[in-house]
Amino acid sequence: MRLPRPRGPLSSHLVTLLREPVRRDRALDDVAATAVREAETVLADEDVQLGLLIVQELSHDGLDGVDDGWERSPDVVSARAVLEDAVEAELRAEVAPAVQQILAEARRDPATAIFALTDDAEGPSLAGHLQRLATRRELEEFLVHRSILQLREADGHTWLIPRLTGRPKAALVEVQSDEYGGGRLERMHAHMYADTLLAAGLDPEYGRYLDQVPATTLALHTTARMFGQQRRLRGATAGHLAGVEATSSMPNRRVAAAVRRLGLGDRAAAYFDEHVVADAVHEQVVVRDLCGGLVEQEPALLEDVVFGVLSCLLLDARMATAVLDAWETGSSSLLAEQPDRLGAVG
């Protein structure tokens, strides 16, 4: 990923700093703390979310032209902790009432409680709008939003594997192996999403559209990574994945229908077709064997599992609301006015 265009003091400071050889920069965590204090909500703050994505990327793909040694810089690590602690605290405050409301039921039967949560999830149906009403332009914008997550699909949750044992570990490995195509590149979900972008005339390069994707979408990506890379949040990581898988099958069916309705064809729809079938299976494995098995092993993690599910549902609903609100007014849901074909290739 190339270094993005800054969106405020924090991301500007980071972009400038990371172009230099690795060195100490004692002000970085102070800059991060200032950005957090000045944000009305860190979950939707453009500077905070972009800054967090930048420092997280150092532990994933890395950044073009940036020394890999920055990943272990004490100042980068400290700044990342400041940002992630703020995101976690805000999420916990947002969902705390709902967590407490369902804990008693979840203690009796975690799987049933999780399925009830995902079945009753409220929020605007972005997939429903795409299926029935979306224009070609809106569908392309949706594909751009999703590109930040789907071109690195499953990676955030894969960090959980070495933190598990027994039945939960076997369950997660089963699901993640499927996400990565079972060893076949052409079946890897991230690769299939790149094919969808190409079929739509869009650029499949990871991060190509980062400058255009707003914070409400970036938060879906940064939260999954925040959960996955911290052992203490292993329960939240499992719950977050359950929230993803248990709300995936029907929306993907609707998006596949939208893709065909708007003339993009079977190649563009293949990624979504795959998830209609795969995620109907994955949700059972993740909810019953991963989450259920983890709570059996470590009952104290139940509250965090529920927290992870609710965090996923909350952020997904906020992203959908922001996109649909923009479209309702005839505006782009992306950050800037886009050129024709959204910077398409070819």
At residue 23, the pLDDT reads 66
Q: What residue has token string 């040694």? A: 69
Label residues 94-117 b or e (16+ Cβ within 10 Å = b): bbeebbeebeeebeeebbebbbeb
At residue 340, the pLDDT reads 42
Contacts of 38 (CB under 8 A, 6+ apart): none
Q: Averaged over 232-253, what is the pLDDT?
A: 96
At residue 277, the pLDDT reads 87
- The CATH number of 109-342 is 1.20.910.10
pLDDT at 224 over 80: yes
pLDDT band at 283 (very low <50, low <70, confident <90, very high): very high
CA distance 257 to 140: 14
Look up the pTM and report it: 0.94
At residue 97, the pLDDT reads 95
At residue 231, the pLDDT reads 97
At residue 278, the pLDDT reads 86
Give the Cα-Cα-Cα angle 172, 174, 180 (nearest 5 degrees).
Answer: 100
Q: Averaged over 171-175, what is the pLDDT?
A: 98
Choose the weakest-confidence range: 13-22, 184-193, 287-296: 13-22
Residue-range domain boundaries for the chain = 9-88, 109-342
